[in-house]
Amino acid sequence: MDMDAFTTVHSPQWARLDVLARKRRLTGAETDELLDLYQSVSAHLSLIRSVAAESQLSASLSATLANTRTRFTGAKSNFFVDIARFFVISLPAAFYRIRWLTVIVGAVFVLIATLFGAWTAGNPGVLAAMGSDAQLQQLVEHDFVAYYSENPAASFAGAVWTNNAWIAAQCVAFGITGVFVPYAVFSNAQGVGMTAGVMFAYDRGDVFFSYILPHGLMELTAIFIAAAAGLRIFWAWVSPGPQTRLNSLAKEGRSLMTVAAGLVLVLFVSGLVEAYVTPSPLPVWAKVSIGGLVLAAYWTYTLVLGGRAVRAGESGDLGADDAGASVRSA
């Protein structure tokens, strides 16, 4: 079949179908025309796919036909149903699929932070390079604790939330590079570890943990989740399996950007804990218990709802209609 000639002959019909499918209101005659064109273009697409299944033309006609189908299948789904599906199925499924990678990233983070903490606390030269004795005394006696209460709680919570959500989004979005995520995990672990090392060197290790753990249990876990999502996207590009790299990357990207959206809410909760619980006069055991309950709630949500959704075949990806057409491997 001469594809160029076929396109020249039928392109007016394809263009007309696209116009009608996008039109907000149709007359009775236009509705009949839309149905006739849909049937004709469907036949054209089948013929084209038999000759060039992976062509741009095939993908374009698939998108036009998908858009047309929505005119016959009724109204769009209910907004509240979509929201419920996101929180009950899509989001926990996306979290569940990267649960083990999240744990691995967390273990690596803790190991790096511990090594830097021990190195800093045990080497006077490292402490001297970080500042004078007076400066470090100011840090451990005042600045570390004051950081959590020197600004109004509401504005502090907003600032923390925005910063951490931005870091999480970067880990997911730039995970495809294979470089950004290891760098982000290493640099954050280094910073936490060296701060801990200074606090322990001046016998304030208990203060460090009493101010880090209440919010850090969930906040750091959220960063581990984002890092795991970014690494998963990178691996989808490196090892796509039976799919094309483009399809593998698109599928994982859609599923794991769900993680980025969900982490905005997770980090909002940890930001509230950091602003209102961490600097509060509550006993240390109570503050840490609150942080532990928030973390336990996340893992319960992920393992129970996420496990159920994944076993039912969900992955956190968009539905077939929303995801659109994909290129098949040869």
pLDDT in tens, 248-306: 776 677 667 788 888 888 999 999 999 999 999 999 999 999 999 999 999 999 999 99
Residue 315 per-residue DSSP state: -
The label of the residue with tokens 């208990």 reads 206
Question: Average pLDDT of the chain?
Answer: 83
The label of the residue with tokens 């993908």 reads 59
Percent of the chain surpassing pLDDT 70: 87
- CB neighbours (10 Å) of residue 175? 27
Is 80 exceeded by the pLDDT of residue 90?
Answer: yes
Per DSSP, the three-state class of 147 is coil
Per DSSP, the three-state class of 26 is coil
Positive or negative, the CA dihedral 111, 112, 113, 117 is: positive
Q: In this predicted model, what pLDDT tens digit does every residue of 298-307 receive, in sequence order?
A: 999 999 999 9
What residue type is assigned to position 292 of the chain? Answer: G
What residue type is assigned to position 20 of the chain? Answer: L
Residues ≥6 apart with Cβ < 8 Å to 138 = none
Q: Counting Cβ atoms within 10 Å, is residue 298 exposed (0-12), middle (13-18) or buried (19+)? A: buried
Give the global pTM: 0.71
Helix axes 205-238, 99-121, angle to 10 degrees: 140
What was the pLDDT predicted at 176? Answer: 82
Per-residue burial over 309-323, b if 16 or more Cβ lie within 10 Å, else e, is bbeeebbbbbeeeee
Q: How confident is the model at residue 74 (pLDDT cuts 50, 70, 90)?
A: low
Question: If you average pLDDT over each of 54-58, 121-125, 167-171, which comes out highest?
Answer: 121-125
Give the angle 108-114-116 at the CA atoms, nearest 5°: 105
- Mean pLDDT, range 149-169, rounded to an integer: 81
- Mean pLDDT, range 178-184, rounded to an integer: 91
Q: Are 256 and 249 in contact (CB under 8 A)?
A: no
Phi, psi of 78 (to 5 degrees): -65, 135
Per DSSP, the three-state class of 241 is coil
Percent of the chain surpassing pLDDT 90: 38
Q: Are 285 and 210 in contact (CB under 8 A)?
A: no
Is 70 exceeded by the pLDDT of residue 231?
Answer: yes
- For residue 298, the surrounding DSSP H or E stretch is helix 284-300
What was the pLDDT predicted at 3? Answer: 73
